[in-house]
Amino acid sequence: MELKNARVLVVGATGVLGTAIATRLAEGGARLALTGRDEDAVARLSRRSGAEHHTALDLVDVEACSGAVREAAQRLGGLDGVVVAAGVAAFGPARETDDEVTERLFAVNTLGPIAVVRAALPHLRPGGSVAVITAVLADLPTAGMAAYSASKAAMAAYLTALRREVRMDEISVLDARPPHMDTGLAQRALAGDAPRMPRGHDVDEVVGLVVQGMVEGRKELVADLRARTVTLR
């Protein structure tokens, strides 16, 4: 994907990662459409980044997800890329995780992103890119985060299968599975208290690699927790 003048929808743009990704894309000359749960926050970011379109969006509403994608594509005259950088977390033993919490985790971390990606595919041209932030827990399901791990692993599985389906369409699918970063996600958990976390990985490095991965058509951003490194492949 050529970054300059690329038409990119960033979903979850008002979070720490989403804001940083949107800013990096704008600096590279991309034309942006932004969504976020907080209407005022996404409007402010839109003004700062020079985005051409913005709208409030809650990923729980899958019909709204499809509508937001269609509107963004219409405003930008098509799409060259879509980034999903939204998510929620929950902590605690699996036996104590309420069904409502599990449902919300899958709605925001899995079903909503799937709805966004599916709606974007008809608008993406050859050379386009899909990028979704999952988590290292997709590879390393963790005790005390069973439902959260499962929601991320499900999304990663979807992206793997999708990548095989769209290969002939020359659309790249990047599954970004970064380690823990200090984005405030743990403090906004749906349930439970976060365990003691390792030092957060550098957000700017991850953001740079996500944008690079989209430009280069990479498949994955993976983390080596022992070496404390993140790499593209």
**Domain 7-232, classified CATH 1.25.40.10, yes or no:** no
Where do the structural domains in the chain lie, given as residue ranges? 7-232
pLDDT at 80: 98
d(CA 215, CA 172): 9
pLDDT at 198: 85
- Mean pLDDT in each 10-residue stretch from start to end of the chain (233 residues)? 97 97 98 97 97 97 97 98 97 96 98 98 96 96 96 98 96 97 91 89 97 98 94 97
d(CA 233, CA 208): 14
pLDDT at 197: 84
The count of other CB atoms within 10 Å of the CB of residue 183 is: 20
The set of residues, in sequence order, having a beta carbon less than 8 Å from that of 36 and lying 6+ positions away, is 12, 13, 14, 15, 18, 42, 45, 54, 56, 57
pLDDT at 8: 98
pLDDT at 196: 85
Q: For the whole model, what pTM was predicted?
A: 0.97
